[in-house]
Amino acid sequence: MSNPRLLLASQSPRRRELLTLLGLPFGVTVADVVEAPQPGEPPYDLVARLSQDKAHAVAVPPDALVIACDTVVALEGELLGKPRDAAEATAMLKRLRSRPHTVYSAITLLETTAGRALTQVAETQVVMRAYSDTEITAYVAGGDPMDKAGAYAIQHAGFHPVAELRGCYANVMGLPLCHLTRRLRDWEIEPPNDAPTACQAHIGRRCATYAAILNDL
């Protein structure tokens, strides 16, 4: 596919921010999909299905390559989606406090002209720090948790909720860039910017997993 027009099917400002780091031009559209699990659906399967549903739900120009994403948080097998209100956000953050959980993000690339699609799921293990009830109250009052799975943003400078992380940091933000880069190469698309370098500079931390993600998936 030569000179494709990339179309990000997401209203998330964090995903737009991360995709910009690759240096590829892209458009943005919004997929109208009900983000609800099916009975007994595991987190891995849920994010894969929802990213696929989102990719197929948007109006796609003939020359476009759609990038659709979905992210969920799983705490001991229980899904934590986006909180419906401040009370639910507070409850989620209290449940997550000082405990490990897993963040799953799926990326689906869809080229409708050729009838070609590919889905990649990333997993990151996260341990939250022992933040106080006062910190939770202040964070929730600021409104930041309301559009985020698990009610938190890992990159939030004021709350900084995460104590430990194993895996891709950008995955927790909602768009694992090295996973995406690996999949874009299946369409012979090489981003102008090196994904690991750009991502590490943006998040301000070193990554120990990018080589394995890019080369050994």
Residue 70 a catalytic site member: yes
Q: What pTM, to 2 d.p., does this model score?
A: 0.91
Q: Which structure tokens are listed for 83?
A: 């909180």
At residue 168, the 3 state secondary structure works out as coil
Averaged over 31-60, what is the pLDDT?
Answer: 91
User: What is the share, in percent, of the chain residues with pLDDT greater than 90?
Assistant: 82
User: What is the share, in percent, of the chain residues with pLDDT greater than 70?
Assistant: 97
> Which of 209, 145, 138 lies closest to 171 in space, CA to CA?
209
Q: Which of 70, 133, 147, 216 is catalytic?
A: 70
Torsion of CA 181, 186, 189, 193, to 10 degrees: 20
Averaged over 2-18, what is the pLDDT?
Answer: 87
> Which pLDDT score, from 0 to 100, does residue 30 have?
87
Measured from the Cβ of residue 177, the count of other Cβ atoms closer than 10 Å reads: 29
Give yes or no for residue 32 having a pLDDT over 60.
yes
> Which pLDDT score, from 0 to 100, does residue 217 have?
52
pLDDT digits (tens, 9 = 90+) for 204-213: 999 999 999 9
pLDDT digits (tens, 9 = 90+) for 106-120: 999 999 888 899 999
Mean pLDDT over each residue of the chain, to the nearest integer: 92
> Which pLDDT score, from 0 to 100, does residue 36 have?
84
Contacts of 149 (CB under 8 A, 6+ apart): 71, 72, 73, 80, 81, 82, 103
> Which of 95, 136, 103, 142 lies closest to 121 in space, CA to CA?
103
Domains assigned to the chain = 5-216 (3.90.950.10)
pLDDT digits (tens, 9 = 90+) for 125-179: 999 999 999 999 999 999 999 989 899 999 999 999 999 999 999 999 999 999 9
Give yes or no for residue 4 having a pLDDT over 80.
no
> Which pLDDT score, from 0 to 100, does residue 216 have?
65
